[in-house]
Structure 1
Amino acid sequence: MPRARANGIDIEYEATGNPIDPPILLVTGLGAQLITWDDDFCAQLAGRAFHVIRFDNRDAGLSTHLDGAGPPDMGAALAGNPKPAYRLDDMAADSVGLLDALGIDAAHIVGASMGGFIAQLIAINHAEHTLSLTSIMSGPSWREGVPPTPEGSAVLLARPASSPEESIELSMWGRSELVGSGDPFDEAVERAKAERAVRRAYYPVGAGRQLVAILAADDRLERLRALRVPTLVIHGDEDVLVPIENGRRVAAAVPEARMLELEGMGHDLPRRVWPRVIDAIVETAAKASPVQPGAAWLC
């Protein structure tokens, strides 16, 4: 996969579709790699005439690992005194830096979970680079939001894996806890995904630093009220990690935002909801001002 230099770090990315089509930037969640955005999902988006770009956030996958920052102080963070090595605003700047490196002036921004936090900050801090915003299973803040259920908290605060093998089992357990009742847990499929992720990159300490950045983030609610881009909020009604009330707060804050609530969906983006999700993203993107094709680039 190609790599770009952006905001002082190296970002691993992958693009699908025709570069002359309107770009969509997919932003991943906590500790997740770009392959978390399913290959088929990306292909279906590209099939709707979009240039789809997914990438590894800093401290995840094959992008720059911030080893010099040292291990995160989770005790201080959970006690209400987070000491982040970087902020979500920095991760938003990474995303915009990637667009700049690719010669893309503006994109439709789609983020899931922590990626939704980052996507919101891209729209807030870098409005000129944002054609539309889609925030999936996210909220306006962590500290001021509706907290996870006990089951969700157990997944979020689980002890980091000490080996690749343990990482696979931890991922399997976490996925089984987070799926909704509409999507039975498929052990074979989820194990294959977990094994693929570990083969590609194993770096649990990075997820810890990302979590501290989440815990240190300011509430975005008032700044969301000032957004003037087409906005879509997608949330499952059985999300135990980021309960749906958080998504509803985002939708209520952003002027003319659309809220898509998906029955039986947990903290996940299961294949059965892809048609509705992709249709909604396409409809939201259609409300944006047209973008002129950027400079040609190779991937």
Structure 2
Amino acid sequence: MKGLDNKRIAVAASRKADTISILLEKKGGKPIPYPIQGEMELHEQTSFQNVRDLVEQPFEWVVLTTGIGSKTLTQAAANNALHNAFFEKLKQTNIAIRGSKTMSWLKENELSPTIVTEDGTMETLLHDLERRKSPESYNRLFLQAYNQDDAVWKDALEDLGFTVYLSQPYAYKRPDEQVTRDLRQEIIKQSIDAVLFTSKTQVQNLFEKQGDHQLVHSFNDQVLAVAVGKVTAKELEKQGIVHVLQPETPKMGAMVVELDNYYRQKTRT
């Protein structure tokens, strides 16, 4: 008997939701798609302006927070004859990153970071930057972010003494409101066994209403919250969810295996 037999698993992801669903089905689960990520919107003109400012202005640090953002800036540089100047500037500047996808982008482009966060979170990245901040320079910092928590991180960095240039090469549109409402009702009624989250954006979209105690109660009662990694897990915990299941390696396949093992172990006990 498979660990996910007869388990109804909601999938909150939009990107690669089909892949996750196939993995769940192979373990005996019944995946139910509730894509609440929201469609990604690239800001081409903003990206071009960001790249040009990075190339032309002095910066001690470049902070790259997502692989998608790094790739979008790269494409903007290539589209506007700034490819060589963009990468030359990155080679001359301290780079701080979070996340495995950003690290993969660096390796692909033969760039070496000065700071890589151990746990992939912005909180740790802020701590690492504070320790490396130079008292002898203006500490101008280029922050690649997007429309989730960008102002929070900008303010936090400025509180540490950095002068921050905020780059927003992309954003996420609002998800379909009906899909979000349907998922909320499934959770509140506890008619599903678990919800799989692959980003903190999905968590924030689900918990958009402040003080939603019904959702929190359901997660803390019977509905299992599953996160692909630490950043997503922390966002769930911030909402008041006591138990969040997550794999040691932040990968979709590892997340499904962890979920399967969880139910297998629960069956034995």
Same fold (TM over 0.5): no
Which structure has the greater CA radius of gyration?
2
TM-score (normalizing by structure 1): 0.33
Structure 1 or 2: larger helix share?
2
